[in-house]
Amino acid sequence: MDYDVIVVGGGNAALCAALSAGETVKKVLVLERAPEEESGGNSRFTAGLFRLAYNGPEDLKTLIPDLSADEIANTDFGTYTEEQFLDDMARLTEYRCDPDLTEILVKKSLPTAQWMRKRGVRFTAAWGRQAFKIGGKFKFWGGLTVEAVGGGPGLVESETQLAKKAGIDIWYQARALELIADDDGVHGVVVRKNNKTVRVESRAVVLAAGGFQANTEWRTRYMGPGWELAKVRGTRFNTGDAIRMALDIGAQPWGHWSGCHAVQWDLNAPWHGDRKVGDNFQKHSYPLGLMVNLKGERFVDEGADFRNYTYVKFGRTVIGQPKRTAFQIFDQKVVHLLREEYRIREVTKAEDQTIEGLAKKLEIDVEGLVKTVADFNAAVMQKDFNPAIKDGKGTKGITPPKSNWALPLDTPPYLGFAVTTGISFTFGGLHITPDAQVIDTELKPMRGLYAAGELVGGLFYHNYPGGSGLMAGGVFGRIAGRSAALSAKG
């Protein structure tokens, strides 16, 4: 068995790499560890949002050609410039993100999405998740506007069918075990398929099999005690195999190995992602209410910034609370603004006419919650509330403050949702060049080996701008596929 390019992984980054490689060479193989019904890696468990730089509706129409004149007239899409994207990446990662990779991500974001659209991936505007209707007009917020039709599952199904149509081979339940390598570079992959171990040779390999978030031993080793108890938001198959294979032959570990993307996740969600529920175990409307722990105490500034810029670090913060548990509390003034995931059947919640009653039902310390709500209500500033902008409607005299969107909890019945930490993906991974070639511990490119997606280190540290993961997978997947194909030809 001999291929030009082998791609290890089956999610967005891997499929973009395969489609890109197939534009230059004929024989491309995708190795997907999961069975076909569970394929797609973490991409399947996302909302399908892509963060990209655009200068207005005309740029968006290149991705959403059926965007109508009425929709444009009734929507304030705003702009999200390359400068804003770069600033968000730098600010949220505490200025640690790799400058070369970050510049590529930003500058190639729109062209890559346009390439995906040309290949057949369909996009739409994320009105339901990223816009509030203010004064009869939708207004997008947080620099995030575009999502794949059908969300993450739709994205995976679309890219998979496009790959098959392009003549790319996909092997399911094919676990990559090790790289075939010698002094001249990487020449293929040892694969376990149908209970047999086989050697599959190739002229180049792209690793795009996700991080190590489903590996409890690695999580504890690199992220610290307690992380083995986090729920896994996505696939159970991302255990770091591709990272390990590369490290075994001398690849350089890179990035924030003790950091991760995590979210507030339903307290009673299963240990791994549920394909039927998808990403709806997440709970992302917390800027509209209060977050408290089992003592009834607040522990973050819920309104510090738009959800896109705080949900990752707040998701990690929850694991440090007593019993890794927190609660989001709302009243009836904002219930109509809550995202769709609050209305699913599989949710841990309580409702009551009083704060005392709500605390008892959720097993929160009653006196603690009553005091927290009373102190918060007394501290709310008298300003206009506008969820589509950072409205400055905050609090005075309490710690932590709430900087925006502070409304007193005074309109029963009150709702409470119980959450824990759900880990999405890990930030540590492999070091790559701007051409997506893996670098070894002597800082030399490794011949025939390329990488993309979650297992690339150096892009994200501490925090993460929402939607940049899928975009990075597309950008560097496309680059890795093209680079691997050129290497195979040359």
> Residue ranges of the domains in the chain?
2-212+427-489, 262-422
Rounded to the nearest 5°, which phi and psi values hold at 188?
A: 150, -165
Nearest 10 degrees: Cα torsion 110, 115, 117, 120: -160
Token pair for residue 272?
């791994």
Q: Are strands 123-125 and 146-148 parallel, antiparallel or unpaired?
A: antiparallel
Which DSSP helix (H) or strand (E) runs through 169?
A: strand 169-172
> Environment class of residue 197 by beta-carbon count within 10 Å: exposed (0-12), middle (13-18) or buried (19+)?
exposed
Please name the residues in contact with 69: beta carbons below 8 A apart, sequence gap of 6 or more: none
**Residue 66: per-residue pLDDT:** 94
Q: What is the pTM of this model?
A: 0.95
For residues 316 and 211, what is the distance between their CA atoms, to the nearest angstrom? 17
For residues 9 and 202, what is the distance between their CA atoms, to the nearest angstrom? 16
For residues 92 and 294, what is the distance between their CA atoms, to the nearest angstrom? 29
For the domain with range 262-422, which CATH number is right: 3.90.700.10, 3.30.1330.10, 3.40.50.300, 3.40.50.1820? 3.90.700.10
2-212+427-489 folds as FAD/NAD(P)-binding domain (3.50.50)
Distances (CA, A) of 380 to 65, 301, 397, 443, 448: 44, 13, 9, 54, 59
Token pair for residue 77?
């899409």
For residues 358 and 121, what is the distance between their CA atoms, to the nearest angstrom? 45
Rounded to the nearest 5°, which phi and psi values hold at 180?
A: -85, 110
**Residue 328: per-residue pLDDT:** 98
**Residue 135: per-residue pLDDT:** 87
Q: In which residue ranges of the chain is pLDDT below 70? A: none
For residues 30 and 393, what is the distance between their CA atoms, to the nearest angstrom? 51
Cα three-residue angle 102-103-106, rounded to 5 degrees = 85
C-beta separation of 48 from 186 below 8 A: no
